[in-house]
Structure 1
Amino acid sequence: MTTIKLIVKQLQGGECTIEALPTTSILDVKRLIYSHLQIPIEEQKLLLLGRTLADDQTVQAYPIKDGTKLNLVVKKPEGLREAAVKYFKSLGMTDGESVNATNRLLKIAQEKFNKLSWDDIDRLSMDCLLDESGQSRPAPQNEPDEEMYSL
Protein backbone atom coordinates (compact mmCIF):
# COMPACT_ATOMS: atom_id res chain seq x y z
CA MET A 1 0.00 0.00 0.00
CA THR A 2 1.25 3.46 -0.85
CA THR A 3 1.51 6.15 1.80
CA ILE A 4 -0.33 9.42 1.37
CA LYS A 5 1.22 12.74 2.32
CA LEU A 6 -1.17 14.95 4.25
CA ILE A 7 -0.52 18.61 4.85
CA VAL A 8 -2.02 19.66 8.16
CA LYS A 9 -2.57 23.42 8.54
CA GLN A 10 -3.37 24.74 11.97
CA LEU A 11 -5.71 27.71 11.76
CA GLN A 12 -3.53 29.57 14.28
CA GLY A 13 -0.47 29.22 12.06
CA GLY A 14 1.31 25.88 12.62
CA GLU A 15 1.75 23.36 9.84
CA CYS A 16 3.17 19.88 9.40
CA THR A 17 3.29 17.15 6.79
CA ILE A 18 2.54 13.59 7.81
CA GLU A 19 2.39 10.30 5.96
CA ALA A 20 -0.46 7.83 6.41
CA LEU A 21 -1.79 4.72 4.76
CA PRO A 22 -5.32 4.72 3.34
CA THR A 23 -6.24 2.30 6.15
CA THR A 24 -4.91 4.63 8.88
CA SER A 25 -7.63 5.77 11.27
CA ILE A 26 -8.26 9.48 11.76
CA LEU A 27 -7.44 8.94 15.44
CA ASP A 28 -4.01 7.64 14.40
CA VAL A 29 -3.60 10.68 12.13
CA LYS A 30 -4.23 12.84 15.21
CA ARG A 31 -1.56 10.87 17.07
CA LEU A 32 0.89 11.65 14.27
CA ILE A 33 -0.09 15.32 14.47
CA TYR A 34 0.55 15.21 18.22
CA SER A 35 4.06 13.86 17.61
CA HIS A 36 4.78 16.80 15.27
CA LEU A 37 2.92 19.72 16.85
CA GLN A 38 2.45 18.56 20.48
CA ILE A 39 -1.25 19.43 20.40
CA PRO A 40 -3.17 17.00 22.63
CA ILE A 41 -5.39 14.64 20.64
CA GLU A 42 -8.53 15.60 22.56
CA GLU A 43 -7.99 19.24 21.55
CA GLN A 44 -7.67 18.45 17.83
CA LYS A 45 -10.50 18.76 15.34
CA LEU A 46 -9.60 17.85 11.76
CA LEU A 47 -11.57 19.32 8.87
CA LEU A 48 -11.61 18.48 5.18
CA LEU A 49 -13.55 20.92 3.02
CA GLY A 50 -15.32 22.19 6.15
CA ARG A 51 -16.37 18.68 7.22
CA THR A 52 -15.21 17.21 10.53
CA LEU A 53 -13.32 13.94 10.20
CA ALA A 54 -14.50 11.21 12.60
CA ASP A 55 -11.88 9.49 14.75
CA ASP A 56 -13.25 6.01 14.04
CA GLN A 57 -13.07 6.42 10.24
CA THR A 58 -10.05 5.77 8.05
CA VAL A 59 -8.28 8.06 5.61
CA GLN A 60 -9.82 6.15 2.68
CA ALA A 61 -13.33 6.90 3.96
CA TYR A 62 -12.82 10.50 2.81
CA PRO A 63 -11.87 12.04 -0.56
CA ILE A 64 -8.24 12.31 0.53
CA LYS A 65 -5.36 11.87 -1.90
CA ASP A 66 -1.63 12.54 -1.81
CA GLY A 67 -1.03 16.20 -0.95
CA THR A 68 -4.48 16.85 0.52
CA LYS A 69 -4.62 19.73 2.98
CA LEU A 70 -6.45 19.17 6.24
CA ASN A 71 -7.39 22.05 8.50
CA LEU A 72 -6.65 21.61 12.18
CA VAL A 73 -8.80 23.46 14.67
CA VAL A 74 -7.46 23.47 18.21
CA LYS A 75 -10.38 23.22 20.61
CA LYS A 76 -10.10 25.10 23.86
CA PRO A 77 -9.90 22.59 26.69
CA GLU A 78 -12.86 22.64 29.04
CA GLY A 79 -12.46 24.41 32.31
CA LEU A 80 -13.35 22.74 35.59
CA ARG A 81 -16.77 24.45 35.66
CA GLU A 82 -17.76 23.24 32.18
CA ALA A 83 -16.43 19.72 32.80
CA ALA A 84 -18.27 19.47 36.12
CA VAL A 85 -21.58 20.67 34.67
CA LYS A 86 -21.26 18.16 31.83
CA TYR A 87 -20.43 15.38 34.30
CA PHE A 88 -23.39 16.15 36.57
CA LYS A 89 -25.71 16.28 33.53
CA SER A 90 -24.41 12.85 32.49
CA LEU A 91 -25.63 11.58 35.89
CA GLY A 92 -29.16 12.64 34.94
CA MET A 93 -29.30 15.97 36.74
CA THR A 94 -31.26 18.85 35.24
CA ASP A 95 -29.44 21.96 34.04
CA GLY A 96 -30.24 23.78 37.27
CA GLU A 97 -29.23 20.86 39.48
CA SER A 98 -25.95 20.38 37.64
CA VAL A 99 -25.09 24.10 37.94
CA ASN A 100 -25.89 24.05 41.67
CA ALA A 101 -23.82 20.89 42.21
CA THR A 102 -20.95 22.46 40.25
CA ASN A 103 -21.09 25.62 42.35
CA ARG A 104 -20.96 23.54 45.55
CA LEU A 105 -18.04 21.49 44.18
CA LEU A 106 -16.07 24.61 43.23
CA LYS A 107 -16.75 26.22 46.62
CA ILE A 108 -15.50 23.12 48.46
CA ALA A 109 -12.44 22.86 46.20
CA GLN A 110 -11.61 26.54 46.81
CA GLU A 111 -12.00 26.15 50.58
CA LYS A 112 -9.76 23.06 50.59
CA PHE A 113 -7.16 24.74 48.39
CA ASN A 114 -7.09 27.83 50.63
CA LYS A 115 -6.15 25.61 53.58
CA LEU A 116 -3.07 24.17 51.81
CA SER A 117 0.40 25.35 52.76
CA TRP A 118 2.93 26.36 50.11
CA ASP A 119 4.71 23.04 50.74
CA ASP A 120 1.43 21.17 50.12
CA ILE A 121 0.90 23.09 46.88
CA ASP A 122 4.50 22.39 45.83
CA ARG A 123 4.07 18.64 46.47
CA LEU A 124 0.70 18.59 44.68
CA SER A 125 2.18 20.42 41.68
CA MET A 126 5.15 18.06 41.53
CA ASP A 127 2.85 15.03 41.75
CA CYS A 128 0.77 16.39 38.85
CA LEU A 129 3.86 16.99 36.72
CA LEU A 130 5.27 13.56 37.52
CA ASP A 131 1.91 11.92 36.82
CA GLU A 132 1.71 13.61 33.39
CA SER A 133 5.14 12.26 32.52
CA GLY A 134 4.27 8.76 33.78
CA GLN A 135 6.59 8.91 36.77
CA SER A 136 5.91 8.68 40.48
CA ARG A 137 7.44 10.53 43.38
CA PRO A 138 10.20 8.58 45.12
CA ALA A 139 9.09 7.02 48.39
CA PRO A 140 10.10 9.10 51.42
CA GLN A 141 12.99 7.79 53.43
CA ASN A 142 11.92 6.54 56.84
CA GLU A 143 15.17 7.49 58.52
CA PRO A 144 16.38 11.11 58.46
CA ASP A 145 19.64 11.79 56.70
CA GLU A 146 22.33 12.11 59.37
CA GLU A 147 24.20 14.75 57.36
CA MET A 148 21.15 16.96 57.45
CA TYR A 149 21.51 17.37 61.20
CA SER A 150 25.29 17.64 61.39
CA LEU A 151 27.08 20.94 61.77
Structure 2
Amino acid sequence: MQIIIKCLKGGSTVIEVDETTPIAEIKNKVEKDLKIPISQQTLVLLGSPLQDGKKVGDYPKIKEGTKIYIVIKKPENLQSSLGKFLRRYYSEEQCKIIVDEFLRNFQNKVDNLSLDDLERIAISNLNV
Protein backbone atom coordinates (compact mmCIF):
# COMPACT_ATOMS: atom_id res chain seq x y z
CA MET A 1 0.00 0.00 0.00
CA GLN A 2 1.05 3.57 -0.47
CA ILE A 3 1.07 6.16 2.31
CA ILE A 4 1.71 9.87 2.08
CA ILE A 5 4.31 11.53 4.28
CA LYS A 6 3.58 15.25 4.50
CA CYS A 7 5.88 17.86 6.02
CA LEU A 8 4.17 20.70 7.86
CA LYS A 9 6.63 23.18 6.33
CA GLY A 10 5.87 21.96 2.81
CA GLY A 11 6.91 18.97 0.77
CA SER A 12 5.62 15.45 0.72
CA THR A 13 6.51 12.00 -0.52
CA VAL A 14 4.61 8.80 -1.27
CA ILE A 15 6.09 5.63 0.21
CA GLU A 16 5.26 2.01 -0.55
CA VAL A 17 4.83 0.00 2.68
CA ASP A 18 3.22 -3.16 3.97
CA GLU A 19 2.26 -4.32 7.46
CA THR A 20 5.78 -5.60 8.19
CA THR A 21 7.54 -2.33 7.29
CA PRO A 22 9.29 -0.89 10.36
CA ILE A 23 8.62 2.77 11.19
CA ALA A 24 12.41 3.25 11.25
CA GLU A 25 12.52 2.18 7.58
CA ILE A 26 9.90 4.81 6.72
CA LYS A 27 12.14 7.41 8.37
CA ASN A 28 15.07 6.22 6.23
CA LYS A 29 12.98 6.70 3.08
CA VAL A 30 11.88 10.15 4.27
CA GLU A 31 15.52 11.11 4.86
CA LYS A 32 16.37 10.02 1.32
CA ASP A 33 13.35 11.66 -0.36
CA LEU A 34 12.90 14.86 1.67
CA LYS A 35 16.49 15.29 2.97
CA ILE A 36 15.35 15.50 6.60
CA PRO A 37 17.82 13.80 9.00
CA ILE A 38 16.31 10.86 10.89
CA SER A 39 17.34 12.40 14.22
CA GLN A 40 15.11 15.41 13.48
CA GLN A 41 12.02 13.42 12.40
CA THR A 42 8.90 12.71 14.39
CA LEU A 43 6.20 10.92 12.41
CA VAL A 44 2.69 11.72 13.63
CA LEU A 45 -0.58 9.91 12.89
CA LEU A 46 -3.79 11.45 14.19
CA GLY A 47 -1.89 13.47 16.78
CA SER A 48 0.16 10.54 18.14
CA PRO A 49 3.85 9.98 17.40
CA LEU A 50 4.84 6.71 15.72
CA GLN A 51 7.51 4.70 17.55
CA ASP A 52 10.65 3.56 15.72
CA GLY A 53 10.54 0.07 17.23
CA LYS A 54 7.08 -0.68 15.85
CA LYS A 55 5.84 -1.73 12.41
CA VAL A 56 3.11 -0.37 10.18
CA GLY A 57 0.89 -3.33 11.19
CA ASP A 58 1.03 -2.16 14.82
CA TYR A 59 -0.99 0.89 13.76
CA PRO A 60 -4.37 -0.34 12.43
CA LYS A 61 -5.32 3.18 11.29
CA ILE A 62 -2.56 3.15 8.65
CA LYS A 63 -4.28 2.13 5.44
CA GLU A 64 -3.88 2.82 1.72
CA GLY A 65 -3.52 6.59 1.19
CA THR A 66 -3.12 7.45 4.88
CA LYS A 67 -1.40 10.79 5.48
CA ILE A 68 1.31 10.74 8.10
CA TYR A 69 2.70 14.10 9.10
CA ILE A 70 6.32 14.74 9.88
CA VAL A 71 7.33 17.21 12.56
CA ILE A 72 10.90 18.45 12.28
CA LYS A 73 12.70 18.72 15.61
CA LYS A 74 15.24 21.45 15.99
CA PRO A 75 18.75 20.01 16.29
CA GLU A 76 20.31 20.43 19.71
CA ASN A 77 23.24 22.75 20.06
CA LEU A 78 26.35 22.01 22.09
CA GLN A 79 25.17 24.06 25.07
CA SER A 80 21.82 22.29 25.45
CA SER A 81 23.33 18.82 24.85
CA LEU A 82 26.03 19.41 27.44
CA GLY A 83 23.51 20.82 29.92
CA LYS A 84 21.18 17.85 29.48
CA PHE A 85 24.04 15.44 30.14
CA LEU A 86 25.35 17.32 33.19
CA ARG A 87 21.90 17.59 34.81
CA ARG A 88 22.11 13.88 35.56
CA TYR A 89 24.98 14.55 37.94
CA TYR A 90 24.79 18.19 39.03
CA SER A 91 22.25 20.74 40.19
CA GLU A 92 20.86 23.29 37.72
CA GLU A 93 23.07 26.02 39.16
CA GLN A 94 26.21 23.85 38.96
CA CYS A 95 25.35 22.88 35.37
CA LYS A 96 25.08 26.51 34.34
CA ILE A 97 28.50 27.30 35.85
CA ILE A 98 30.14 24.26 34.22
CA VAL A 99 28.57 24.88 30.80
CA ASP A 100 29.43 28.58 30.84
CA GLU A 101 33.06 27.85 31.77
CA PHE A 102 33.32 25.09 29.17
CA LEU A 103 31.94 27.34 26.41
CA ARG A 104 34.28 30.19 27.40
CA ASN A 105 37.31 27.87 27.28
CA PHE A 106 36.13 26.31 24.02
CA GLN A 107 35.59 29.69 22.37
CA ASN A 108 39.00 30.90 23.58
CA LYS A 109 40.70 27.85 22.08
CA VAL A 110 38.84 28.23 18.78
CA ASP A 111 39.72 31.93 18.62
CA ASN A 112 43.40 31.07 19.05
CA LEU A 113 43.53 28.55 16.19
CA SER A 114 45.62 29.61 13.22
CA LEU A 115 44.57 29.03 9.63
CA ASP A 116 47.13 26.22 9.49
CA ASP A 117 45.53 24.61 12.53
CA LEU A 118 42.09 24.85 10.92
CA GLU A 119 43.43 23.38 7.67
CA ARG A 120 45.01 20.43 9.53
CA ILE A 121 41.76 19.78 11.41
CA ALA A 122 39.74 19.94 8.19
CA ILE A 123 42.09 17.62 6.32
CA SER A 124 42.26 15.07 9.13
CA ASN A 125 38.46 14.97 9.42
CA LEU A 126 37.86 14.80 5.67
CA ASN A 127 40.25 11.88 5.25
CA VAL A 128 38.53 9.72 7.86
Do Structure 1 and Structure 2 share a fold, with TM-score over 0.5? yes
Deviation of the 1:127 alpha carbon: 4.4
Higher relative contact order (CA 8 A, sep 6+): 2
- Taking the aligned partners of 2:55 and 2:90, their CA distance within structure 1 comes to 36
Q: 1:70: which partner in 2? A: 68
Q: Secondary structure at the match of 1:55?
A: coil
Amino acid at match of 2:84: K
- Taking the aligned partners of 1:103 and 1:34, their CA distance within structure 2 comes to 34
- Taking the aligned partners of 1:127 and 1:89, their CA distance within structure 2 comes to 33
Question: Unaligned 5+ residue runs, structure 1?
Answer: 137-151
Count the aligned residue pairs. 127
Q: Secondary structure at the match of 2:87?
A: helix
Deviation of the 1:125 alpha carbon: 3.7
Which of 71, 79, 84 is the equivalent residue of 2:82?
84
- Taking the aligned partners of 2:30 and 2:124, their CA distance within structure 1 comes to 27
Deviation of the 1:61 alpha carbon: 1.2
Task: Give CA-to-partner distance per residue, 1:7-54, whole Å, 9 cap, x none.
Answer: 111111011111122112211110111111111100001100111111
Q: TM-score, normalised by structure 2?
A: 0.90
Q: TM-score, normalised by structure 1?
A: 0.78
Question: Unaligned 5+ residue runs, structure 2?
Answer: none
> How large is the Cα RMSD of the aligned pairs?
1.5
Deviation of the 1:123 alpha carbon: 3.4
Q: Say whether 1:44 aligns with 2:80.
A: no
Q: Which entry has the higher C-alpha Rg, 1 or 2?
A: 1
Q: Secondary structure at the match of 1:77?
A: coil
Q: Alignment identity in percent?
A: 35
